[in-house]
Amino acid sequence: MKRLLLLATLIGTASAYADPNCREVSEAIIGVGLGEIVNYPDGLKDGIVREGTAEFIYGLGFESLEGKADYVVYPRIMVFYDRGSFTSLTAVGAIEGEPDRGLSRILENLRSVSQASYQSNEDEGMTFTCEENIELNVEMKGWDDGQQYVAVRLTNKSAMERANEYIKEYCSDPKRRRPQDACN
């Protein structure tokens, strides 16, 4: 009977700790996830708008967004893409009127959404413990208006490595390069 009770306790305790899923952070912030581009821009959260797009080389660039969602004002959100997939997101935002510009509330929301813990480092900000190949970092950053904002960076490291390889391959082939490509 003791073994059965111990086993039930261990199973219950283990299930209380979910595996981290930091990929969910992108959907929580803008309404669209990392990976294959689906339902964009129609799937953007209410209040988040597409400001523009930039293409570095054929098929690789970023989308520029801004707006207000879930009490956070975002003067800039950049979502990088590579040949049909979103690979990373950087969102710079703040919750107006909060003494820490919303840092503690944003961290708690990210922790809740990602099911990941984080560690604080004075030089690098807060680093979350995410699933393999996914990085989630949060730090305070100065912005154009002179105020501090919360910067959230979510990156699929393996997708970014593939993008970097694509850039090298693309830019090394003079037959593929176009005059507007950023290959220098």
Q: Is residue 85 assigned to a domain?
A: yes
Q: What is the 3-state secondary structure (H, E, C) of 47-70?
A: CEEEEEEEEEECCEEEEEEEEEEC
Q: How many domains, in total, are found in the chain? A: 1
3 domain residue, yes or no = no
Q: Please state whether the predicted TM-score (pTM) of the whole model is above 0.95.
A: no
Separation between Cα atoms, residue 86 and residue 88, nearest integer Å: 6
Residue at 45 is within a domain? yes
- Residue 5 domain flag: no
Residue 54 lies in a domain: yes
Distances (CA, A) of 112 to 25, 59, 136: 10, 34, 13
Q: Examine residue 72 and state whether it is found in any structural domain, yes or no.
A: yes
Q: Are 72 and 95 in contact (CB under 8 A)?
A: yes
Q: Return phi, psi of residue 91, to 5°.
A: -120, 125
Give, for all 184 residues of the chain, the pLDDT tens digit. Answer: 444 333 333 333 333 445 889 999 999 999 999 999 999 999 999 999 999 999 999 999 999 999 999 999 999 999 999 999 999 999 999 999 999 999 999 999 999 999 999 999 877 789 999 999 999 999 999 988 999 999 999 999 999 999 999 999 999 999 999 999 999 7
How confident is the model at residue 124, as a pLDDT? 74
pLDDT of residue 18: 58
- List the beta bridge partners of residue 49: 66
**Any domain includes 154:** yes
Residue range(s) defining the domain that contains residue 50: 18-171
